[in-house]
């Protein structure tokens, strides 16, 4: 089992090292797609919506204090929205 864990860790490390900064990551692609849909619905300029989305994302990560697991991120969002209401 230790050998499998070690090999997986090596693969993850090599995959992280190969990440290409020229290509958008999946979150950026998803954000752009959502902004295109919002442009169609609202008629607002695409660049404005994209900039607004990026700023919200940066604000979220600046205030985020949990582990970067999916459960931790969702927990943080629910707490933040509950405080806003």
Give the pLDDT confidence of 26-40 residue by residue, as tens digits: 788 899 999 999 999
pTM: 0.60
Nearest alpha carbon to residue 31 among 46, 19, 45, 10: 46
Alpha carbons 5 and 54: distance in angstroms, whole number: 35
pLDDT of 47 over the 80 cut? yes
**What is the dihedral sign for C-alpha 65, 72, 21, 5?**
positive
The pLDDT value recorded for residue 15 is 60
């Amino acid at each position: 089992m230790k050998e499998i864990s070690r090999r997986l860790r090596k693969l993850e490390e090599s995959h992280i090292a190969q990440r290409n900064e020229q290509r958008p990551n999946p979150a950026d692609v998803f954000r752009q797609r959502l902004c295109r849909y919002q442009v169609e619905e609202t008629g607002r300029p695409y660049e404005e919506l994209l900039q607004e989305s990026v700023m919200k994302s940066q604000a979220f990560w600046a205030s985020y204090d949990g582990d970067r697991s999916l459960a931790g991120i969702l927990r943080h969002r629910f707490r933040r929205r509950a405080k806003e209401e």
